[in-house]
Structure 1
Amino acid sequence: MDRRFIGNFKLPPASYGAIFGILTLTLWVALYDRVLVPKILATKLLNHPNGIPNKHRMGIGLLISCLATAVAGAVEHRRRWTAATGRIMSANWLIPQHCLTGLGEAFSIIGQIEFYYSQFPPSMRSVAMALVSLGLGAGNLAGSLIVSVVDDITGKGGGRVSWVGNDLNRGHYDYYYWLLAVLSVGNFFYYLVCSWAYGSDDRKLWDAVEVGSGDDDEAGREMKIVV
């Protein structure tokens, strides 16, 4: 692929996700927190202090991740066709999928962190980041497992080339991305079931009440379950 970005300036192959994904995430968080929530969402449209409720934000993030993998499959399909005709495709076509990935993370990951912070008692809020990191680690392991399974199934017998082989033009990474899109859609519906089973995130499972006095705020608090 032609990696020229502006003029003759070329971006390193591995930097597209880091640059455009993180840039999109950063810009969206700033725009959402400083403009959309205080001036539009919290006052005029949704009348919610956090703008979009946390569970809705996580769901939107999952939907965007489905779209990102589908777009990645379409771009890869186009790249293979371009390579077969002897032409070179611009690597800038990779930018939309990485921007969508960053936007999906801005919705899902940050919404997940804020959800944990709103539902956990103060003494357990440090667990929120641990749970997010645990989920990311489990996702990476699941991704490695999917790659191994796809490689074993699609590369067996008859001289077939694996979808995720080293030769991009002979492999079918477009099929692999579309498989991930289907799995992401299934994950989204699973999330809907879990979200429905949990109920409203406006309710507080825990509440902190003052039971004593003293200079140390933490010493004068105990946790109780609100039913």
Structure 2
Amino acid sequence: MFSPEMKLVLNMIPIWLATLPFGMCVAQASTFFIKQGATMNRDIGNGFEIPPASIFSLAAIGMIISVTFYEKLLVPVLRRTTGNERGINILQRIGIGMVFSIATMAAAALVEKKRLGAVESDPVKGSHSMSVLWLAPQFVIIGLGDGFTLVGLQEYFYDQVPDSMRSLGIAFYLSVIGAGNFLSSLLITAVDHITEKGGKSWFGKDLNSSRLDRFYWVLACIAAANLCVYVFLARRYSYKTVQKVAVVADCYEGELEKGGPMA
């Protein structure tokens, strides 16, 4: 009924869907996390203030640490244990990153709760009494998760797509990020609508009148429930079989049959 190429693509769809909640968590780092930083004390001395958007560089640092640790330390050890050239398979690597996304949302919720407490105790200074470095854990943790899941997704889509569609592997990977951002916006709209009916929306006119901590907990719960689904799918996933053909050897064999010289 379906061609082999179509079967490979259909085989990847459940995994693609199961990675979308991770994309939703990643979307917070470039949106609400930055807005949180803009309300906090960004002075690091001598009158120099960290631009809010530059805080995102902590996620990049976390990703560099994650990839370096995985490739240089973890893989050699796991390779001897599992016999797998990659140390662990691709889907296991992606799943580890999903655990970090849950931890990120939990850390973000706790920090936001503390920030709102600072606003309540001193409405004049508000959260400006808190250093922006309080946000460092959630940025670093999501960066660590990126090193596992995002890099794993690039490898997964390049490796598992049909050979004729291999150039589209990066497009499949980017679609996770794009769809994750879209679903994040959709979730915000839904939560705003539902909580507004309950009396007061979790998303007020500014962060100080919002309950972003509760939204982060919702995301953490979604990511945790999705991880269970992902593990179920990953355990039943069948990898594409790669057949290696010795093209060079065949060429030499053809020359010998013809009695031609071997250069």
Which residue among 179, 183, 188 is the counterpart of 1:142?
183
Structure-2 residue corresponding to 1:32: 70
2:117 corresponds to which residue?
81
Larger radius of gyration: 2
Q: What code does the residue aligned with 2:235 have?
A: W
Question: Which residue does 2:99 correspond to in 1?
Answer: 63
Q: Greater helix share, 1 or 2? A: 2
Q: 5+ unaligned residues in a row in structure 1: which ranges?
A: 215-227
Are the counterparts in 2 of residues 119 and 206 from structure 1 also a CA contact under 8 Å?
no
Does the Cα contact within 8 Å between 2:158 and 2:170 map onto a contact in 1? no
Q: Give the structure 2 partner of residue 96 of structure 1.
A: 137
Write out per-residue CA displacement over residues 149-202 of structure 1, whole angstroms, 9 at most, x where no aligned residue: 1111222475x2x21223222210000111111111111112112112214x4x
Q: Give the AA of the match of 2:190.
A: V
Once the two structures are superposed, the pairs formed by residues 32-181 of structure 1 within 5 Å of their partners are 32-38=70-76, 40-43=77-80, 45-86=81-122, 88-156=129-197, 158=199, 160=200, 162-181=201-220
1:146 shift after superposition? 0.4
Which residue identity is paired with 1:168?
L
- Could you tell me which residue of structure 2 aligns to residue 4 of structure 1? 43
The superposition leaves residues 115-149 of structure 1 with CA deviations (integer Å, 9 ceiling, x where unpaired) of 23333444332222111111211111100100111
* Percentage of identical aligned residues: 36
Higher relative contact order (CA 8 A, sep 6+): 2
TM-score by length of 1: 0.81
Gaps of 5+ in 2: 1-39, 252-263
Provide the alpha-carbon RMSD of the alignment. 2.5
Residues 156, 130 of structure 1: alpha-carbon distance in 2 compared, 3 angstrom cutoff: same
Separation of aligned partners in 2, 1:188 and 1:7 = 45
Deviation at 1:32, TM superposition (A): 2.4
Q: Distance in 2 between matches of 1:31 and 1:47?
A: 19
Query: Retained in 2: the 8 A contact 1:151–1:165?
Result: no
Which residue of the other structure, out of 46, 58, 61, is the alignment partner of 1:23? 61
Q: CA deviation at 1:46?
A: 4.0
Take 2:241 and 2:167, find their aligned partners in 1: how far apart are those partners? 17
Higher strand share: 1
